[in-house]
Each structure stands twice: as structure tokens, then as C-alpha cells.
Amino acid sequence: MQLVQGYLDNINARNDLNAFLEVWNEEAIETANQLDQKIANKDSLGSLFGVVIAIKDNLAYKGHKVSNSSKILEGFESLYTATAIQRLIDQDAIIIGRTNCDEFAMGASNENSAFGPVKNAINPELVPGGSSGGSAVAVAANMCHVALGSDTGGSIRQPAAFNGIIGLKPSYGRISRWGLLAYASSFDQIGPMTHSVEDAALVTQIMSGADSQDASMSQIPPLELDLKSKKEKMTFSVMREAIEHPGMDAEVVVGLKNLVLKLEAEGHTITYFDFPLLDSMVPTYYVLTTAEASSNLSRYSGMMYGYRSQNATDLESTYTLSRTEGFGAEVKRRIMLGTFVLSSDQYDAYYEKAQKVRRIIQNETRKILENSDAILIPTTSTPAFKLGEKSKDPIAMYLADLFTVQANLSGNPAISLPLYKTSSGLPLGVQLITKENAENELFSISQKLMDLYV
Ligand code: GLN
């Protein structure tokens, strides 16, 4: 109970950061009291007993509002609970509230929310990253112990990097997407944002595993937790472009080079690979995800969920006006782009071609990992930027995803670790990508790096 109250106090003290859209304070205190009762009764306790968790506002939790930070879901309440959340609750976690994000998880700065931007936990003049910016700030500013985000192209890892915490995108299919409001279904994954590797591993393990509601995950063996690394010496593959790309911030490059030197000094092997596909990754990602989004978001028509325009007079104007008034600019841009790339005369030139490039990226990623334990790249090419700096320039914003989209295109697990900072103290993330479904290896390598360098 006291723990919950402590987090509630922290949330109230930092309302200016705009990290939460809604805090379920009475309910969280009530759950905490019930958990206290369990101790008194000597009942068996779940493995997340009393852990206070915030959830991104695109996860369904029965009887609670969910809006995806969009006006179009105004007033909508979830009719069921996401599998991932139910599994946390079953282990005695306490859900404290829903966090602000970019509208429909589309963005890299959290400025696309219909409810105002979130501010960076370290420096409120800077963006927190996106789209799971509220979740990252909630963890970094101690408003909860763990937060859930979703990651379609970096939305967990990039805000984790910008706020100095850990963010994991699990393998595609590791965690059920049932109850996650879809952006791009073949990319989306739910994942944890935490202070420690142990917490990330535990929460991932609890959320993972087969779910008859999500057919895309049936092939994956269950995740067994073992954080101890089996190997003393490891091989890391560093992307040469991450050091030489013209868009790289000098401090990111210096930090990465220093980390490489330290790893070599510890006896680990570093190999370099060229990745000429790097500049194709962001365009491929945006062709495919906007195509999927244009289809997924067609259900928001003013008929079934949330917002319906008051000005509509018939069926067609209900659709048109509800969507025109309900969606923000970035969501509309992506629906239009996705509809364009799927249109019959553009399909071959864009959608089909991007599917082929995706396959090549998957194959190349697999090949690099055949001879290496992990790919080591920066999470982002720059530290957190100023609020407003990129919001008028969608292309500059899309390039913030340069290093994060690879793992979503390929399906591999990827983590961002807060291993270094700029000279002015802004956090930077190092990203590790391991083989498909090799979360255990990813956690054990991460633990080792955190022990050595934090
Ligand atoms: N920044 C990326 C985008 O805007 C990533 C979003 C995400 O992972 N949900 O699409």
C-alpha cells in the first residue's frame, strides 16, 4: 500500500511531464490492500507480487478507457483485457494507469498525441521519444516500477534510450498481441520498459507463451529464464555504417567506439559488417507499416467505437466526418500513404517491392548472426532532441528510426541499454539484437554489459 502511495505521489509531483492520461489511484490502492490481505492470510503470492505497472494507452484492460492517445476513441472502454496484462495481474501485479503516447503509436517524439506532448524525464525541454514516451518517462521518473510499451519500429527502445532506462522488443510472436490495438500487425510487439535486466526478463517471461487468440505466435517455444551467461567470451557484430554514417551525432559515435574498445579489452571479439541496406530500411518500414495501418484503422468509422461526428447527416458523412475530425495529421498522412501503396496501380512498385526488401533484410540479419552472439548498434543516431525541433518535418522524424526498424522488419529480439551518456549528461542507448527467439541470450549478454558498464 505504501509503495503504491509513493508512486502516486511521484505522479502528482510531476504532472507537468504529462506521462499519464489516467491514473487508477483508488483501484490501485484497493488492489494493494487486497494483496496485503494475502500476506496476512499466508496465501501463495504471485511472482510479480505488488509490482506497480503502468500500461501504454493502446492496451485493452476491461472496464477501463483506452484511447491510443486519439480523439477517435473518445469515451471508449475496453470490453476485454489484453492477454499480456491478464498474465501480469494473475501474478499479483498492480496496474496503476495508462500512459500517454503518440496517436496510434505513430511517432518518435510523443508530439503526435491528441492530449499534448510528453516531456523528457531528464530534461523537460526535450522530447521523451516515442511512441511509448509516457511509459518511458513513467519508469524514469519513478512513477511506477515497470511500464509496458509497444514497438512497431522502435517505440519501446528509442524512448527508453532517450530517458536512460531499459526497453525490450521481444521476438515477433513471443507475446500475444490480443488486446493490443493494432498499428501494423506483422511488426507490433508488446514489451517491458524497466530499470533492470532482471525485471525486463521476468515480465517478458510472464507475458510470453502461446495464446489461442493470436495465431501468429503458435510456433514459439516457451521462454525459460536463465540470466547466467553460458559463454565467457562473446562475439559482437558492429555495423560499420553506425560509425561512419553522415547523420550520426559525434558523441554517439565516440560512445560506441569506447564501448567497443572496452569489450575488446575484456577479451570479447568484435567484427564489423557493412550494411548497404541501411538506407532502404526506413522506406521499407514506412511502405509496409502504412499499408497495414490503412487496413487496420479502417475499423474506426464512427460506427462502432468512440467518437462520432455531430455534423454527420447520413452513413457516408458519418464515416468521412468522424474520421476527419477524429484522427490527427500524422495518422491521416499514414492512412493516405498506405492506401496509395496498396492501390492496384502502385502495388507492385511499392508494397510488393518492400515485401521483397523485407525478406532480404531478414536473410542478411540472420546471416550476420550465424557467426556472432549479438549485433551491436546505437539505438538512435542522436540523443533526445528539442520539443518542436522535428515536428514540422515528417521525414526528419522518420529518420529517428534508422537503427530500430531492422529488428521489427526481421522479427528478431532487440534491447536498448542505457550504457553511456553525452558530455552534458543526456542518456544514450546501445542496442543489442540476437537470433530469433534468443531472448535468453539477449538477457544474459545485457546483464553482463550492465554489470560491467553501469
Ligand atoms: N517511430 C516509428 C513510427 O513512427 C515507430 C513507431 C512504433 O514503434 N510504434 O512508426
Atom of ligand 1 nearest to the CA of 408: 8
Q: What is the mean pLDDT of residues 204-228?
A: 85
> Is any ligand 1 atom within 6 A of the Cβ of residue 154?
yes
Q: What is the pLDDT of residue 397?
A: 87
Whether 353 is catalytic is no
List the single range of 79-88, 244-253, 347-356 with lowest mean pLDDT: 244-253
Whether 228 is catalytic is no
For 111-127, the DSSP string reads TT-TT-----SS-TTB-
Atom of ligand 1 nearest to the CA of 183: 9
Atom of ligand 1 nearest to the CA of 108: 1
Residue 285 CA to ligand 1 center (angstroms) comes to 9
Binning pLDDT at 50, 70 and 90, where does residue 272 land?
A: very high
Q: Could you report how far apart the first and last alpha carbons of the chain are, in Å?
A: 31
Closest C-alpha among 186, 144, 194, 187 to residue 168: 194
Atom of ligand 1 nearest to the CA of 107: 4
Q: Which residue out of 131, 132, 150, 410 is catalytically annotated?
A: 131
CA distance 251 to 56: 31
Whose Cα sits closest to atom 4 in ligand 1? 107
SS3 content of the chain, % helix, strand, coil (to 5): 45, 15, 40
Q: What angle do CA 331, 334, 337 make, to 5 degrees?
A: 150
Q: What is the pLDDT of residue 437?
A: 93
Query: Ligand 1 pocket test: which of 101, 152, 156, 177 has the largest number of ligand atoms within 8 Å of its C-beta?
Result: 152
Binning pLDDT at 50, 70 and 90, where does residue 42 land?
A: very high
Based on the number of CB atoms within 10 Å of its own CB, is 345 exposed (0-12), middle (13-18) or buried (19 or more)? Answer: exposed
Closest C-alpha among 453, 454, 451 to residue 227: 451
Q: What is the pLDDT of residue 296?
A: 97
> Is any ligand 1 atom within 6 A of the Cβ of residue 106?
yes
Query: Ligand 1 pocket test: which of 102, 401, 402, 404 has the largest number of ligand atoms within 8 Å of its C-beta?
Result: 401
Residue 119 CA to ligand 1 center (angstroms) comes to 18
Q: What is the identity of the amino acid at 143?
A: M
Residue 333 CA to ligand 1 center (angstroms) comes to 14
Q: Is-above-0.75 flag for pTM?
A: yes
Residue 139 CA to ligand 1 center (angstroms) comes to 20
Q: What is the pLDDT of residue 159?
A: 98
409-452 residue pLDDT tens:
999 999 999 999 999 999 999 999 999 999 999 999 999 999 98
Q: What is the pLDDT of residue 400?
A: 87
Residue 359 CA to ligand 1 center (angstroms) comes to 20
Measured in whole angstroms, the distance separating CA 192 from the mean position of its chain's CA atoms is 8
Binning pLDDT at 50, 70 and 90, where does residue 270 land?
A: very high
294-318 residue pLDDT tens:
999 999 999 988 999 999 999 999 9
Atom of ligand 1 nearest to the CA of 289: 10
How does the average pLDDT of the chain come out, rounded? Answer: 95
Binning pLDDT at 50, 70 and 90, where does residue 218 land?
A: low
Residue 156 CA to ligand 1 center (angstroms) comes to 9
Q: Which residue out of 109, 135, 155, 446 is catalytically annotated?
A: 155
Between the CA of residue 265 and those of 61, 134, 446, 452, what are the distances in Å? Answer: 48, 38, 18, 12
Whether 410 is catalytic is no
Q: What is the mean pLDDT of residues 132-137?
A: 98
> Is any ligand 1 atom within 6 A of the Cβ of residue 153?
yes
Per-position b or e across 281-314, b if 16+ CB within 10 A of its CB: bbebbbbbbbbbbbbbbeebbbeebbbbbeebee
Q: What is the mean pLDDT of residues 32-59?
A: 97
92-129 residue pLDDT tens:
999 999 999 999 999 999 999 999 999 999 999 999 99
